[in-house]
A and B are shown apart, each in its own frame.
Chain A
Amino acid sequence: MAAARVATRRRRRSWLVLGGLPAAGVVAALAVAPALVLLSYAFMTGGAEQYDAAPPFTLGNVGDVLSDDANLSLVRNTLIQGGAVAAIGIALGVPMAYWIHFHAGRARPWVLVLLVCAFLQSYLVRLYAFRTILGERGIVNETLLRLGIADEPASWLLFTRFSVIVALVHITLPITVLLLYVGFRPLDRRYIELSDDLGASAIGRWRYVVLPLIAPAAASAAILAFLIAALDYVTPSLLGGPGLATFAIKARSGFQELGNYPDGAAYAWAALLGCAFVGALLLLAVRVAGLNRQEPA
C-alpha cells in the first residue's frame, strides 16, 4: 500500500516536472539566453559606431565601468531612484493590501481587476499624463493656485527627481499591491483577534503577527519595484531634468548613441548585478530579522 502510494507520488512528480519543461524552456529562451548573450558582449571587443561585438575577449569594458569615478554619481542616482520607489511603494502598498484583504468585502474582486487594469495602461501615455498633472499649468499647480495655497506655480513638480519617482511609484504600485495582497492571504482575522485578546499593542500586533507573514511578499514586492525603477531609462528621459543619469541611461547610450555594444553591455550588467546585490541584501535582512518563516512569531 505504502509502496503504491510512493509510486503514485513519483509519477505525479515526474508529470509535474514534464509539465514545467515548456515554461522553463520559455524562460531559458526569452530571459536567460539573451542575458547570457549580453554578458558575453560585455567581455568582447567593440568600439564607437561599430554596432557590433566580437572576439577577442577582454576585461577592459568591465574595468572601465569599475574604474571611472564619474560612475559614482550614476550609482547614487540609480540607488536613490530604485530605493525611493521601492520604499514608497511598500509604504503605500501595505495599507492598500491590508484594506483589500480585510475590508474590501464584495468589492475585492473588482478592486483587484482595477489594479490589473491600471497595470495594463500604456506606459508612455501615463508618463505624458504626468506632464499634464504635474506641469506648471497642470492640475496640481492650478489647484494650489486656486486654493490660494501657492502664489506661483511650483516648477519643482516636473522635470525633477520628484516627478520621476512619483511616476515610477504609480507604475509599480499595482504590482506591489498585488504581491502584498498575496502575502496577506494567509493572515487569518482570528490571529489578530487572538493577539488583541492576549493584550498585544498595535505595534506588537504588527511586529509579531502581521509582519512575519507578509515580510517575504513585501521583500519580493520591494525587490521587483526596485529593479523596475532602478533600471528604467524612459521615465527619467521624459520626466527628469539635469543631473539624474543612471546606469540604465548610460547602458542605453552605449547601445543607441555610441553603437558600442560591449560598453553598453558592461553597463547593463553592472546595473543588473548591482540591483541583484541590493535585492540579496534585502532578502538577507528579512532572514536575519527572522521574518521569513511565514507564520506568526
Chain B
Amino acid sequence: MGSRPDTATGITRRVALRRAGSGAVLLTGLPTLLAACGDDEETGAAATSTGPPKAKGVIDYLGVEGEDGKGVRSLERYLSRSGARLQSTYTAAPAETLQRFKSGRADGVDLVDFSNAQVAQFHAADVMQEIDPERVPNLKNLSADYRGTDKPWYVDGKLYAIPYYNGPFTPVWDTRAVSKPITSWDQYREPSLKGRLGFYSSPEGTLNIAAIATGAAKDPTRPGEVPKAKLGDVSRWLEDVVPNVRSFAPSLGDLVNQFKAREIDAAFGGWAGFAGIAALAGVNTISYTALPSPGAPAAVEVWSVGRDADNADSVLAYMNQVLDPRANGELNLFLAGGPSVDGAYEAVPDLEKVLPKDAYAGKLGTAELPYLQLPPAESDEFITSEEWTAKFTELIGA
C-alpha cells in the first residue's frame, strides 16, 4: 500500500520554552500521577513492562515500504525510548520477500511483513516462527473480527502472525468526471467508462473481484478458489471490463499519479484509503464505495517473526506496541486502512475521515468481505495461479 508522509512542523523558541515548562511540570507531578492511575489503563510502552520483552538493538525488517511503522510517531517514540531501531529492507511485494527467503538472502531478518493471503505460502516455506500469545499481551486489544484460531494468521491453531491493518479493494473514482457513484463491480463493465479506467494489474486481486462479482467461487468466503469449470465465467466478466481500461498501474501509488494527472476517471482495484492518499497529493475529488455490491476482497496486513531472527524478543515487543490502540490507529492513518484493534478510532479520531468506523464491522471473513486469497498453486478442482496468470495476461495484454 502507499505511504503517507508525516507532517513536520517547525518549533519556534516560544514553543520550545512552553514544552520545556510542560515537561518540568510533568516530571514534578509524575509520581503522584502514576500513583493515581493504577494499572488498569495500560497502553503503549507501559504494557510492555508486564508482558513482552522490551525492544532493544536492531530490528531487521523485510517487507513493503511504509509497512514497518517508520514515520508513525508513537511507534518511533517507542523505539527511541527503548533504544531500539529498525533497519529496513524494502521489497516490491510479498512475493519478492518470499523469494529472498527461498534464495537464502533473508538470513537474520527479524520482522517480516506480508498479507493474510500469503500466510500459508510463508508457512510452507518455513519463513516464520510460531508466536507465543502470552508474550504479546496487547493481543487482547484485537477487535472481535480478528480473533479466533480460524483466522488466516493461525496455522493449525497456532499463531504465526499478528494482523495490524485491513484494506479491502474498493471502487474508486473521480467525482469531477464520474457523476454516478460506482457501487457495484458490474458497473466497471458499462460502456460509459470506455477508455477511462486505470487498472491495478494484480492477477490474484482481479480473480478475487471477478469471482465475487460473478459468484463463481465454490465457497463465497474463499474467492481465490474458483472451480475450473467457471474459468469461462470469470474470463468473460473481465473481457467486458478490459475495453474500458485506458492504462495499467504497476502499483497503487501509480494510480494516484494517474488520477492527479487526470488521465483516468476511475480505478479498478483501488482501496478505501485511496481518497485520503489522493487528497494528500492535492486531489480532493476522489470518492469510493467502502463495500461495493456484492462484496469486496479484504487484504489484512500482518507481521511475523523471521525464522532465523536474532532479535525475536524485540519483534514481539514491537508487535505488542502496534496492537496498542493509539499506535495501531496512527499506523492505519498513515497507511489509510482499517485498524485491527478496539479503541483505535477513539485514540485517533482522524481515522474516521479515512474509513468510517462501522464500514466493515462484523463483516471480515464473510461472503460480503472475504479475505483476499491467492489461487492455489496446484489443484485438480480449482483454477491454479498458473492457469489464471496465463489467462489474465491473454485477456489484458494480448
Contact = CB atoms under 8 A, between A and B. Distances in A.
A156 to B, nearest CB: 10
Contact of B263 (A131, A240, A242, A245): A131
B393 A259 contact: no
A57 B40 CA distance: 63
B258 to A, nearest CB: 8
Interface stretch (A1-9, A45-53, A92-100): A45-53
Nearest to B92: A256
B397 interface: yes
Interface stretch (B130-138, B178-186, B243-251): B243-251
A244 interface: yes
Contacts of A238: 250, 254
A55 B384 CA distance: 22
A136 interface: yes
A132 B385 CA distance: 36
A250 B374 CA distance: 19
Interface in A49-86: 49-52, 68, 70, 73-74, 77
Contacts of B121: 49
Interface stretch (B96-104, B209-217, B283-291, B342-350): B96-104
B245 A241 contact: yes
A269 interface: no
Interface in A201-258: 237-238, 240-245, 249-250, 253, 256-258
Contact of B245 (A242, A253, A260): A242
Interface string A180-204: 0000000000000000000000000
Nearest to B242: A242
B17 interface: no
Contacts of B257: 128, 131
Contacts of B246: 155, 159, 241
Interface string B361-398: 00000000000001001100000111001100110111
A137 interface: yes
A24 B9 CA distance: 55
Contacts of B384: 48
B246 to A, nearest CB: 5
Q: Which among A47, A137, A238, A241 has the greatest number of chain B C-beta atoms within 10 A?
A: A241
A257 B203 contact: yes
Interface in B324-377: 374, 377
Interface in A258-276: 258-260, 263
A51 B245 CA distance: 31
Given A155-B246, A256-B95, A70 B390 contact: yes
A89 interface: no
Main secondary structure on A side of the interface with B: loop
A245 B266 CA distance: 23
Contacts of A241: 245-248
A158 interface: yes
Contacts of B34: none
Interface string B177-198: 0000000000000000001000
A35 to B, nearest CB: 18
A106 B331 CA distance: 59
B393 A135 contact: no
A260 B393 CA distance: 15
Given A159-B247, A259-B95, A253 B393 contact: yes
Given A47-B377, A51-B98, A258 B385 contact: yes
Nearest to B384: A48
Contacts of A77: 398
A249 B397 contact: yes
Contact of B398 (A131, A245, A258): A245
B393 A250 contact: yes
A79 to B, nearest CB: 14
Contact of B393 (A47, A48, A249): A249
Contacts of A74: 398
A257 B389 contact: yes
A74 B393 CA distance: 10
B176 interface: no
24 contacts: A47-B377, A48-B377, A48-B384, A48-B389, A49-B374, A50-B377, A51-B95, A51-B98, A68-B390, A70-B390, A77-B398, A131-B257, A136-B263, A240-B248, A241-B245, A241-B247, A243-B397, A245-B393, A245-B397, A245-B398, A249-B397, A256-B92, A256-B93, A256-B95
Interface of B: 92-93, 95-96, 98-99, 102-103, 121, 195, 201, 203, 242-243, 245-248, 250, 254, 257, 261-263, 374, 377-378, 384-386, 389-390, 393-394, 396-398
